Amino acid sequence: MLLVLPYCRGGDLFDLASRHRDVLTPRLVKRIFAELASAVHYIHANNIVHRDIKLENVLLTLPPSTLAVIGAPERFPSAIATLSDFGLSREIDPAHPLLSTRCGSEDYAAPEIIMGQPYDGRATDVWALGVLLYALVEGRLPFDSRAANGRNRVKHRIARVDWAWAKITGVLSNDWADPKLIVEGCLRRKESRVTMDHICASDAVRDSIAVPLFQSAGR
């Protein structure tokens, strides 16, 4: 069996966020997140859950040097980000969506997974997207115990949904207002967590891709 994949010459989003943070302007972050949200919304609509969404599993089609000079990311004519690594994904029955297998990276795991409860993979994917977006905005993971002076282990903080804004608190730019609202809707207990429909209907997603990225055959 051979898998032929497009070459993503920009590496992964973890490398960009770690080594090239100056490239991650609010407009570029919103464009990348909008593409990821659209991808996750699509697979959920087809009854597939990813279960391993994280910075390392997002590949970039453009190198940092090119991303740095895009003046209007929302109007860039082709996809910038690609959601990859579906090794832990699975098909679900929408009528009976609960899963029990604990998988994925702990830093991105939702409270219900950490506590060993049955979980809806669509809701845990939403949580992971919130963790990813927080990391792009803040430059660190929301449940990084080192950022909290090591007061608790990561999984204990996740179980309590114990997180806070650091860099943008008090000096929040209007440019970060929409991503902030999305993160705050994602990083909640499952009963009050937003859905992918809600995320994709938000201004942060709808206004961040102003060009048609996908066209039908023959057009």
pLDDT digits (tens, 9 = 90+) for 32-91: 999 999 999 999 999 999 999 999 999 999 999 999 999 899 999 999 999 999 999 999
The structure tokens 């949580």 sit at 127
SS3 99: strand
Q: With contact defined as beta carbons under 8 Å apart, do 34 and 208 qualify?
A: yes
Model pLDDT for residues 111-129, shown as the tens digit of each residue: 999 999 999 999 999 999 9
Residue 77 CB-half CA count within 13 A: 1
CA distance 127 to 185: 9
Residue 164 CB-half CA count within 13 A: 6
Q: Which residues are catalytic?
A: 52
Question: What would the mean pLDDT of 148-163 be, rounded to a whole number?
Answer: 79
Q: With contact defined as beta carbons under 8 Å apart, do 107 and 52 qualify?
A: no
Q: With contact defined as beta carbons under 8 Å apart, do 185 and 33 qualify?
A: no
Domains identified in the chain and CATH numbers? 13-206 (1.10.510.10)
What is the 8-class DSSP label of residue 171? S
Q: With contact defined as beta carbons under 8 Å apart, do 28 and 20 qualify?
A: no
CA distance 179 to 68: 20
Model pLDDT for residues 158-187, shown as the tens digit of each residue: 999 999 988 776 555 677 889 999 999 999
